[in-house]
């Protein structure tokens, strides 16, 4: 009498749909904030002093040639050293190219709250300026 079949569907269905849609909005990822920004060599060079410059190549490659002022954290070693980074400053990453490991590291840094993260287009192989 009080809750008939039509009464249940007319009240419960909208409530369940409303809760479901609300949860979707509450837990969706903000895809804009998790985007890697790729910079040309010129833009990278003109802005890299405004943040933390990180080379994720091997130590041997780093000692042979690097961008002046960069710190070396080979591959995944960067995640064991996050306490040395400032979350309030941008991170400028580079490797030999802009694919593979540097992309994976950039995504992980974004997920850990480091924003923005910039990657050098083409990596050090495309760096036209003087290297140290």
pLDDT by residue (tens digit) across 52-110? 999 999 999 999 999 999 999 997 788 888 888 998 899 999 999 888 888 999 999 99
* 3-class state of residue 99 by DSSP: coil
pLDDT score at 1 = 47
Q: Which residue has the higher pLDDT, 38 or 34?
A: 38
Are 118 and 51 a contacting pair, CB within 8 Å? yes
pLDDT score at 5 = 56
Q: Quickly state the pLDDT bin for 7 (edges 50, 70, 90).
A: low
| CATH no. for 37-126 | 3.40.250.10
pLDDT score at 132 = 85
pTM of the shown model: 0.72
Backbone angles phi, psi at 126, to 5 degrees: -100, 10
Q: Which residue has the higher pLDDT, 42 or 30?
A: 42
Partnered with residue 120 across adjacent β-strands are: 39
Sequence-separated (6 or more) residues with CB below 8 Å from residue 87: 113, 114
**Quick check: 121 pLDDT over 70?**
yes
Q: For a pLDDT cut of 90, what percent of the chain falls above it? A: 45
**Quick check: 35 pLDDT over 70?**
yes
* 3-class state of residue 86 by DSSP: coil
């Amino acid at each position: 009498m009080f809750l008939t079949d039509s009464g249940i569907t007319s009240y419960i269905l909208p409530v369940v749909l409303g809760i479901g849609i609300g949860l979707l909005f509450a837990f969706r990822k903000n895809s804009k904030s998790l985007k890697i920004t790729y910079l040309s060599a010129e833009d990278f060079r003109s802005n890299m002093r405004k943040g933390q410059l990180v080379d994720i190549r091997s130590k041997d490659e780093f000692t042979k040639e690097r961008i002046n002022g960069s710190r070396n954290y080979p591959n995944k070693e960067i995640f064991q050293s996050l306490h040395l980074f400032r979350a309030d400053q941008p991170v400028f990453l580079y490797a030999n190219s802009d694919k593979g490991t540097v992309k994976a590291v950039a995504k992980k840094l974004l997920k850990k709250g480091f924003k923005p993260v910039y990657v050098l287009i083409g990596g050090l192989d495309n760096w036209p300026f003087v290297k140290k």
